[in-house]
Amino acid sequence: MDALVVVVALVVAIATYLTWLALRLDRLAARVADAREGLVTQLVARADAANTLATCCALTDLADSVRRARAVHPVLLAGGPLDGAVELAENVLSRSLRSGEVAAAGQRFPAELHAVDSEAARVALARQFHNDAVRDLRALAGRRLVRLLHLAGRRPRPGYFEIDDALPARGDLPDLAT
């Protein structure tokens, strides 16, 4: 009788642990999805702010970069992947935002430049949140027990989103936060 109690307790403990692992995987997958949605929202907002600056200052190179980035946004908003094409388009926009032409235009339109820089900072944070969530999910899904028992199911492994999101050094622009 004592052996039966031990076996039942062991089965319950293992089942509880496996259930906890499966639920943790689901929570992490939801966290990745939420972080991805936030990242896409910030990418769109940065492109909008950059478009406003490009329009105000007649910056054709920046406007071209914005058009290129906006071309991939409908796919992202529809749930498409954060793939190499998206990374390339967003990298082009990031480099355009750090150009001397944009910095010079910011002297004439500091509010618009501040809006662009604020959105760029939000993109950097959103990308970090996304990549942190992806790292956590991949780490748990990569555990031997999770792989052996297929607890992650058939869901594809999420990928990291790597773009050049370094913020530009702007010098002595007025502080518009006040």
Q: Is 116 within the bounds of a domain? A: yes
Q: Is 158 within the bounds of a domain? A: no
Q: Is 124 within the bounds of a domain? A: yes
Q: Is 155 within the bounds of a domain? A: no
Query: Mean pLDDT for the chain?
Result: 91
Q: Is 112 within the bounds of a domain? A: yes
Better-scored residue on pLDDT, 144 or 169: 144
Residue 28 in this model has a pLDDT that exceeds 90:
yes
Q: Is 133 within the bounds of a domain? A: yes
Residue 77: what residue type? L
Mean pLDDT of 128-137: 97
pLDDT given at position 94: 94
Q: Which domain holds residue 114?
A: 2-149
Residue 94: what residue type? S
pLDDT given at position 13: 95
pLDDT given at position 170: 63
Residue 178 in this model has a pLDDT that exceeds 50:
no
pLDDT given at position 171: 60
Distance CA 118, CA 29 (A): 28
Q: Is 65 within the bounds of a domain? A: yes
* Contacts (Cβ under 8 Å, ≥6 apart) of 72: 85, 86, 89
Size of the chain in residues: 178
Q: Is 166 within the bounds of a domain? A: no
Long-range contacts of 127-132 (CB under 8 A, 24+ apart): 127/39, 127/161, 127/163, 127/165, 129/35, 129/38, 129/39, 130/32, 130/35, 130/36, 130/38, 130/39, 130/82, 130/161, 131/160, 131/161, 131/162, 132/35
Count structural domains, the chain: 1
Burial class (CB in 10 A: 0-12, 13-18, 19+), 3: exposed
